[in-house]
Structure 1
Amino acid sequence: MKILIIEDEQNISSFVERGLNISGYETEVCGDGLQAWEKLQTVAFDLIIVDIMMPFMSGLELCKAYRQKFGYATPIILLTALSTTEDIVKGLNSGADDYITKPFKLAELEARIKALLRRSGINPEKQNDDFLQFSDLTLNIHTKQAIRDGKTIHLTAKEYLLLEFFMQNPNRVLSRRTLLENVWDMNFDTNTNIVDVYVNYIRNKIQPEGTSKLIHTVIGLGYILKEE
């Protein structure tokens, strides 16, 4: 479950990010509207939280632009210090689904997030069972597809099993023997290079040009899934 937080006040963005991370959501933070707009061109989010008063591109402008280009599938919550009826109507008319006025309690924000996600057909309580997440890479255990940089990555059955095992064991060095025993469920000759071949297959798929490296070789030991 991936949420974009767009807020130029660092104390507020840190407060929201920390609270949502503790609750199991993956978050990214942008400090101004223009940076967020550029991010939204390439990365898909399940929900967007945006402050109205933003530098370079206001929350209302971003909301209108997002709806015109990407439609209404992704819920948007506006954060605002403006609480008059006119301000709220402007926010909702720009395409927002809900708003919350500052100052607010994290519990209220989380309740609104859950309500909007359910309305969108997503059960927030079940997301951790449906997806594996590492950095900006998501693995859907039902469709057997990966998503990175907003793009769907199609995997063969064995590629999926190998990537799934890596994502179930992040930041841990996995030997070739461990991968053979858990992914192939067979005792291959230890001289086989089948692990190296399949690691290269999934590397080429999940690490296209311009993205950071996730699967690293540990010389003499095996491989590790970690951020650069």
Structure 2
Amino acid sequence: MNILVADDDPVVADVVRRYLERDGMQVVVVGSGSAALDEIERSRVDLAILDVMMPGGNGIDVCRNIRRGVHGDLPVIMLTALGEAEDRVLGLESGADDYVAKPFSPRELSLRVQSVLRRSTAAAAEPVRGTLTDGDVVADLAAREVRVCEHAVSTTKREFDLLVFFLRNPDTVFARDELLERVWGWKFGDLSTVTVHIKRLRAKLGDAARIETVWGRGYRWSTRPDTDDPSA
């Protein structure tokens, strides 16, 4: 697998490179956002690790550019400063598949890389056809598109995966850690990742959203009229 590491801190980049190479990855290191986009355009990249704060376009802007382009399905892991919740939320909203807060364990990052790659490979191999429908919400599996009342709704890759999971498992309550494992494919991670995606998906679906909060237990997609407070 070919991994792109974009970080302007040479010490961090070198540590990450050595750990990933030890796990059999091919690693290219660049020091700016613009260099990261250039590398993605000219080389095969299977996953990108982007630092939020770097010159030539920060990681969030780079991720948004990736999602808008021909490499829109490229898995992305964001590196954020410890405690910068806003950066983590923006990273997820920009379409990042995961984030790791600095300072971090290089081994943990390596495990996250492997997890995201497994999930991405499995999704690519899974046959996708047909649609899932509930009320005014339609998810086109082949096109990976969502429509609400016949109008297209833009979703990130993970938001789409979350919606599809709910539509396939209606009226079933899932705790955040269950969703993290079954949608993200992670056995560990920050549960706020799930909360952010739930809120974003509700906002995009509007009145058609049937994601209910079951207090003390988790979330469910209800095929019945909403009765619970939808706030996360």
* TM-score where L is the length of structure 2: 0.50
Query: Where do 5+ consecutive residues of structure 2 fail to align?
Result: 124-232
User: What is the DSSP-based 3-state SS (H/G/I as helix, E as strand, rest coil) of the residue aligned with 2:43?
Assistant: coil
Is 1:29 paired with 2:29? yes
| Cα deviation, residue 101, structure 1 | 0.4
Distance in 2 (CA, whole Å) between partners of 1:87 and 1:50 is 12
Aligned length: 123
User: What is the DSSP-based 3-state SS (H/G/I as helix, E as strand, rest coil) of the residue aligned with 2:27?
Assistant: strand
Is 1:111 paired with 2:103? no
Distance in 2 (CA, whole Å) between partners of 1:37 and 1:12 is 20
Q: Which residue of 2 aligns with 1:58?
A: 58
User: What is the DSSP-based 3-state SS (H/G/I as helix, E as strand, rest coil) of the residue aligned with 2:121?
Assistant: coil
Contact 2:66 2:74 in 1 (8 A): no
Contact 2:7 2:50 in 1 (8 A): yes
| Cα deviation, residue 39, structure 1 | 1.4
Contact 2:52 2:87 in 1 (8 A): no
Distance in 2 (CA, whole Å) between partners of 1:97 and 1:115 is 10
Cα shift readout 1:112-136 (whole Å, capped 9, x = no counterpart) = 111111111269xxxxxxxxxxxxx
Q: Which residue of 1 aligns with 2:83?
A: 83
Q: Which residue of 1 aligns with 2:42?
A: 42
Is 1:121 paired with 2:121? yes
User: What is the DSSP-based 3-state SS (H/G/I as helix, E as strand, rest coil) of the residue aligned with 1:121?
Assistant: helix
Amino-acid identity (%): 40
Q: Which amino acid aligns with 1:96?
A: A
User: What is the DSSP-based 3-state SS (H/G/I as helix, E as strand, rest coil) of the residue aligned with 1:56?
Assistant: coil
Distance in 1 (CA, whole Å) between partners of 2:52 and 2:43 is 21
Contact 2:19 2:110 in 1 (8 A): no
Contact 2:4 2:27 in 1 (8 A): yes
| Cα deviation, residue 82, structure 1 | 4.7
Q: Which residue of 2 aligns with 1:102?
A: 102
Q: Which residue of 2 aligns with 1:2?
A: 2
Q: Which residue of 2 aligns with 1:74?
A: 74
| Cα deviation, residue 42, structure 1 | 1.2
Q: Which residue of 1 aligns with 2:16?
A: 16
User: Would you identify which runs of 4 or more consecutive aligned residues in structure 1 move more than 2 Å?
Assistant: 70-73, 82-87
Query: Where do 5+ consecutive residues of structure 1 fail to align?
Result: 124-228
